[in-house]
């Protein structure tokens, strides 16, 4: 793969988890909030929200980096 294409895809693979993580953070209340403001203000809900957002972002980052750099090590030898 061309070096320029690898750099561009690597940047996209790093920015995509940020965008998706932001969307997950904003939509989490709609998906799991039960329309209860008292429940959504608890520490338990906040920790679940942080954990789920970080999990989704890291999975996307791992998948993106795996796809971008898959097989590039063989070109160095």
Tens of pLDDT, residue by residue, the chain (77 residues): 578 888 888 899 899 999 999 999 999 988 888 778 888 889 999 999 999 999 999 999 999 888 887 855 545 44
Quote the pLDDT of residue 77.
46
Report the C-alpha gap between 31 and 40 in whole angstroms: 11
- What are the boundaries of each domain within the chain? 3-71
Report the C-alpha gap between 48 and 15 in whole angstroms: 23
Quote the pLDDT of residue 68.
83
Report the C-alpha gap between 61 and 10 in whole angstroms: 10
Burial environment of residue 17 by CB neighbours within 10 A (0 to 12, 13 to 18, 19 or more): buried
């Amino acid at each position: 793969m061309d070096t320029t294409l690898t750099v561009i895809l690597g940047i996209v693979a790093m920015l995509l988890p940020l965008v998706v993580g932001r969307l997950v953070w904003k939509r989490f209340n709609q998906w799991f909030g039960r329309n209860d403001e008292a429940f959504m203000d608890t520490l338990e809900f906040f920790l679940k929200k942080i954990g789920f957002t970080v999990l989704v972002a890291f999975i996307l980052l791992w998948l993106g980096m795996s796809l971008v750099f898959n097989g590039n090590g063989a070109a160095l030898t």
